[in-house]
């Protein structure tokens, strides 16, 4: 039986006209500093997609960086994946983040982080965030 796991989600950040360039550049740097997929890390830069520099629609308040990857049984190493993701979040500006883990055997799990303040800033400890876990029945 296959043990494929799919991980996907997004990181949301406020668009603040007076601070947006600095925050975007800092977040892009954090993503670009990730290793490449060839190094087989839990997180790698190719799995993330962020809006291009300067791309903003009128009235839009949130910038969304999305990500996704397929793994072989990542749920067996999930603590390592979460540790890597939280290390990335510590380096970024963000308001909230959500990770979905779909497994063939254990269904769908959803993890959510929300900043207590207006936005998380790099270097701020994650102990000031909330993490939730939920499980849905397998539909496979």
pTM, 2 dp: 0.86
**Cα separation of the two ends of the chain:** 12
Nearest-angstrom CA–CA distance, 29 and 132:
27
User: What is the chain's pLDDT, residue by residue, as a tens digit (140 residues)?
Assistant: 568 999 999 999 987 766 677 888 899 999 999 999 988 789 999 999 987 765 555 656 788 999 999 999 899 999 999 999 999 999 999 999 999 999 887 788 889 999 877 889 998 888 655 666 666 665 54
Q: Yes or no: say if 65 and 11 are a contact pair by the CB < 8 Å rule.
A: yes
């Amino acid at each position: 039986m296959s043990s494929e796991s799919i991980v996907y989600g997004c990181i949301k950040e406020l668009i603040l006209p007076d601070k947006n360039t600095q925050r975007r550049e800092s977040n892009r740097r954090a993503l670009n500093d990730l290793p490449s997929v060839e190094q087989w890390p839990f997180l790698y830069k190719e799995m993330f997609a962020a809006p291009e520099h300067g791309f903003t629609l009128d009235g839009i308040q949130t910038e969304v960086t999305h990500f996704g990857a397929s793994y072989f049984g990542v749920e067996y190493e999930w603590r390592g994946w979460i540790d890597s993701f939280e290390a990335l979040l510590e380096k970024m500006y963000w308001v909230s983040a959500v990770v979905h883990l779909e497994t063939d055997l254990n269904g769908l799990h959803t993890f959510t982080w929300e900043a207590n303040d207006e936005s998380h800033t790099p270097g701020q400890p994650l102990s000031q965030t909330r993490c939730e876990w939920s499980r849905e029945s397998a539909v496979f």
